A and B are shown apart, each in its own frame.
Chain A
Amino acid sequence: MLIDFFYALRDGGLKTSITEYLALLEGLEAHVAGLSIDSFYVLARTCLVKDETHFDRFDRVFAAYFKGIEQVGAEGVAIPDEWLEKLAELDLSEDQKAQIEALGGWDKLMETLEKRLAEQDERHEGSNKWIGTAGRSPFGAYGYNPEGIRIGQDTGRHRRAVKVWEQREYADLADDRELGTRNIQIALRRLRRFAREGAAEELDLDDTIASTARRGGQLDLVYHASRRNALKLLILFDVGGSMDDHVAACEQLFTAARSEFQHLRYYYFHNFIYEAVWDDNKRRRQESLPTTELCRTFGSDYRVLFVGDATMSPYEIAYPGGSVEHWNNEAGATWLTRMREAFPRSVWLNPVPDERWDFTPSIEMTRRLMDDRMYPLTPAGLTEAISALSRPALPSGVGQ
């Protein structure tokens, strides 16, 4: 049962596993959820989705899959077979239809559904599982239209699940990143720089033995601070325009970096570094961080990754006022050089494959400005970039 729903979730981009699906079935068998669609929704989400950024995808699949079913529990109405069948034709693919046939066809499904309905009525009477609906029908406040799609919403304190998935409340949490960041994570792990920082709380065995021996066998304990990853990383992402093709790669890098480093900060820029960067793309016009302040705020011990395709018109780099978006008083090249002075350990990661770099003048220019510290955004390129990050390098123009 619910096999189609399971596959619909997977088709919808959720990496739901078989164990999780079985957990849901186990939950249904144990009657943890009561039998309303609302509590089914919550139970299914609790079992199947483990990341709030995926709630929105789940809501979409759920809404599409269970469209109309919510009435089934309402007042024990008979289900008009024709429209369910019609609905199924709309929503189900050929494959899914075949699977339904394999399960015994519509009649069998309807039978199960009706059986459950009967059960639900019984439970509805003396049970407190029905949420905040004492003395009135749970769907009393709702109207129906002929196609069985509910209109009208309940805005009371008892947040109904129906409302949640239809309003797609979690829409802005979805970041739509791809999974499979393991190889990037492993490459980034090389960046770890362990340092003994903070309180001494780990037994230093070598020193304890040496010190005990020195005191003629009298036990003398020596402690030292434990090793932790002290690396500080600042990532600047190019967004919009030509970068749209590389969103997936950037997201992978971001996800991997986020799970790997405690001290990670990130900002965005468009096309090239100018006088300001921002950390929220929606509010970039209102809130941006001046690049000079960025250099002041973060110490030179921060490693900096610029992530961008550096593909633009050469004017955008070389001339004041060259930016496509706004008037910049100083050329992008000046700003990039300043950044490199402030952060000697910086590299540029380029999602454009390196065999194409020679054909784009702006990539060539950026690469010169970075003194060749530009690497392709591939696991191999990342490994090279990371070894370059361990060597500080001031821009070659400095001091002339």
Chain B
Amino acid sequence: MSVEFAGTDRYVATDDLKLAVNAAATLSRPLLIKGEPGTGKTMLAEEVAAGLGKTLHAWHIKSTTKAAQGLYEYDAVSRLRDSQLGDARVHDIGNYIVPGPLWECFTADAQPVLLIDEIDKADVEFPNDLLRELDRMAFDVYETRQTIEARHRPIIIITSNNEKELPDAFLRRCFFHYINFPDKDTMADIVAVHFPDLKKRLLSDALDLFFDIRAVPGIKKKPSTSELIDWLKLLLAEDIPADSLHSTDNDLPPLHGALLKNEQDIHLFERLAFMSRRGRR
């Protein structure tokens, strides 16, 4: 077993996650990652590539993405234009086949990491259309009658935000890991990785406040890890003292815009702060 992902100095991976990555890499199965937004799903692929010293091929999925685009695209428009201009290239159809991310992965010299980001954004049939390619690690190019076969089975990481259910047949071929929202201790580790010289008291106060906000019932968009890190960045940049984080005369935490992204949430929070102040009097 050559691969052994152990997190990197910029990314705190839980032991569960490391094991899931290593299992998927060793058995060459795609690894499906789900979890709350902002828990570092997409970053994982980048860090796996960095940690194992492999190149990353990212394929970001949009609602209009078709499975075939991951393999290759036939650029009919260029060919049409070239035929009008009398370009000699036009006689070889191979000149107009544009390789997609999967093709590039399959023909890479060393084992690459392939990220299929936000697979749930695509059409319902999208994952099913990829089954054969992921199973066989090969596909045919109809236009040129070639078969592209993977020279090294890539490590495939797929992320999903759970907007759609994925088909069973697809799930059966994947390994699955759900990234939990980190607990306070893991969160402190994550913050330490990003801000090594953050004052201890500011950090613990900020974390308390952050988890308090997450626990407020009815909040529409719970702040996530990446938002916490942005907020801390701001706090540091503004040099906010730790005391002001739990001062009572302010309705909202300082620089709340980084944490609360929805005006209903801000109103809710103001109301709660008002009520708690009234309750104290």
Residues of A participating in the B interface, judged by any CB pair closer than 8 Å: 15, 17, 19-20, 23, 26-27, 30-33, 38-39, 42-43, 45-47, 49-52, 55, 128, 131-132, 156-159, 161, 169, 179, 201, 203, 217-219, 221, 226, 228, 255, 258-260, 262, 283, 286-287
Contact = CB atoms under 8 A, between A and B. Distances in A.
B23 A27 contact: yes
B230 interface: no
Interface in B21-73: 22-24, 26-27, 29, 31-32, 34, 63-64
Given A23-B29, A201-B64, A17 B172 contact: yes
B74 to A, nearest CB: 12
B20 A46 contact: yes
B1 interface: yes
Contacts of A286: 217-218
Given A15-B168, A32-B26, A203-B77, A157 B185 contact: yes
B16 A219 contact: no
A46 B217 CA distance: 31
Given A26-B27, A46-B23, A219-B81, A283 B15 contact: no
Contact of B15 (A47, A131, A260): A131
A282 to B, nearest CB: 9
A221 B29 contact: no
6 contacts: A23-B29, A46-B177, A47-B175, A50-B166, A52-B178, A159-B15
B203 to A, nearest CB: 15
B253 to A, nearest CB: 22
Contacts of B81: 219
Interface string B167-209: 0100111111110100101100100000000000000000000
Nearest to A283: B217
A157 B27 contact: no
> Which of A26, A45, A50 has the most CB atoms of chain B within a 10 A radius of its CB?
A50
A159 B80 contact: no
A131 B6 CA distance: 12
Chain B facing A: main interface SS = mixed
Nearest to B166: A50
Given A55-B178, A159-B183, A50 B172 contact: yes
Contacts of B27: 23, 26-27, 30, 32
Contacts of B77: 203, 221
A265 to B, nearest CB: 13
A23 B32 CA distance: 15
Nearest to A173: B178
Given A27-B27, A219-B84, 6 more contacts: A42-B15, A156-B185, A159-B186, A201-B64, A221-B77, A258-B164
Ranked 10 nearest A-B pairs via Cβ: A157-B185, A50-B171, A52-B178, A259-B165, A32-B23, A50-B176, A46-B20, A131-B15, A46-B175, A42-B16
B178 A42 contact: no
A289 to B, nearest CB: 11
B34 A52 contact: yes
B19 interface: yes
B274 to A, nearest CB: 17
A215 to B, nearest CB: 11
A158 B26 contact: no
Contact of B176 (A49, A201, A262): A49
Contacts of B173: 19
B185 A46 contact: no
B174 A42 contact: no
Contacts of A157: 183, 185-186, 189
